[in-house]
Structure 1
């Protein structure tokens, strides 16, 4: 067990060499597989712009943390997690002006009540002041626009939080230049971010694996 923990800690330390990466908080509100696929698309787009991105998947804390080990310096770190757990994580780390979170969502209309409840819970924590929507399964620009409009109407009417789409209507695949520019505005430069910050709530997973 102790060797495993040391190996994982060493891998996480390499993420922060030579400087801390910009953190992009991503809340998964759709199926895990769909969120992971979309995160992969985002990583590829960032890499195409010259960045060295990595994904830290905190959805299943039993996974091998060695997956995030990187031999090259990382300058963009996507943290994929359940949105409320991610909001709690941001509570102590967001800058004074607050933070933003990318929410990966389904476009299905029946999911609206749950999506609204999630945004309401996020907004109640005070530190996340803006959410950006990404509808991972929308088959067209029209469906993506309709899904965002439904959620934005409810949020705008009842909650004190800014909501905007990641993609513009001109982005057929949802990740054009305009979307990447919006994604850049989600980045958090969390000063003093250490590898231990990524291991929040993970010790139980390490101890379970050791049995």
Structure 2
């Protein structure tokens, strides 16, 4: 799955065009601030004709739902791609309740983070039944090392958990800039249309003390 590396901006132009705003639930296993910076870099690589990417947390979604239901103009636009960052277990439960079958996980490629991340994936699969995950690495600097660490994680998940991990566009960085490995696209992870979602099943705002996942 790592044979073809293509320019990330071209990948974004190809994958992110949408006529309606899409919501991508993302279980964040790195500090939230780090994930926001990385997604911001991805957004900067997109073309002006692409859907605008926007990172939101649970509080912002609750606010926007209120604005939308009240007919106010502060809600996301029709061509926005929303990354909803939240606790990975809460996120998986929500996706499962909405009949979704895959989830984006934002991870670190560091070796010392892999064991905790593997344990979290195991827990999610066991408690929600979700067994396909897109993996977005925020801190890969060398393609070879990122490939090795990902394959080790994916191999263990497949063998022992019957879980499929797919690298997502924008998951590695090398001396030529942002690159992509083939796998799940963000378009495939955008299972939910913001404009048709009522907010059903969303975790309560007071439950959210989330600031990042296990890879600190």
* TM-score of the two chains, using structure 2 as the length reference: 0.67
Aligned length: 179
- Counterpart of 1:138 in structure 2 is 140
Query: Is 1:87 matched up with 2:92?
Result: yes
Could you tell me how far 1:63 is from its partner in structure 2? 10
- Counterpart of 1:53 in structure 2 is 53
| Residues 52-98 of structure 1: CA deviation (Å, up to 9, x unaligned) | 3332223xx599947x9447434422111111010111121124xx2
Q: Which SS does the other structure have where 2:54 is aligned?
A: strand
1:1-211 pair list within 5 angstroms: 21-45=21-45, 48-58=48-58, 61=59, 65=63, 69-70=74-75, 72-95=77-100, 98=101, 100-167=102-169, 172=174, 173-176=177-180, 182-189=185-192, 192-194=196-198, 196-197=199-200, 200-203=203-206
Could you tell me how far 1:118 is from its partner in structure 2? 1.0
- Of Structure 1 and Structure 2, the greater helix share is in 1
Which blocks of at least 5 consecutive residues in structure 1 are unaligned?
1-18, 206-211
Distance 1:177 1:73, change over 3 A: farther
- Is the CA contact 1:93–1:190 (under 8 Å) kept in the aligned structure 2? no
Runs of 4+ residues deviating >6 angstroms: 168-171
Distance in 2 (CA, whole Å) between partners of 1:134 and 1:127 is 20
Distance 1:47 1:64, change over 3 A: farther
- Is the CA contact 2:29–2:107 (under 8 Å) kept in the aligned structure 1? yes
Which blocks of at least 5 consecutive residues in structure 2 are unaligned?
1-18, 68-73, 209-216
Q: Which SS does the other structure have where 1:139 is aligned?
A: coil
RMSD over aligned Cα atoms: 3.4
Q: Which SS does the other structure have where 1:37 is aligned?
A: helix
Question: For structure 1, which segment, 148-157 or 41-50, has the greater mean C-alpha deviation from structure 2 after superposition?
Answer: 41-50
Q: Which SS does the other structure have where 2:192 is aligned?
A: coil
Could you tell me how far 1:167 is from its partner in structure 2? 4.4
- Counterpart of 1:9 in structure 2 is none
Q: Which SS does the other structure have where 1:138 is aligned?
A: coil
Distance 1:80 1:48, change over 3 A: farther
| More contact order relative to length (CA 8 Å, sep ≥ 6) | 2
* TM-score of the two chains, using structure 1 as the length reference: 0.69
- Is the CA contact 2:140–2:173 (under 8 Å) kept in the aligned structure 1? no
Q: Which SS does the other structure have where 1:133 is aligned?
A: strand
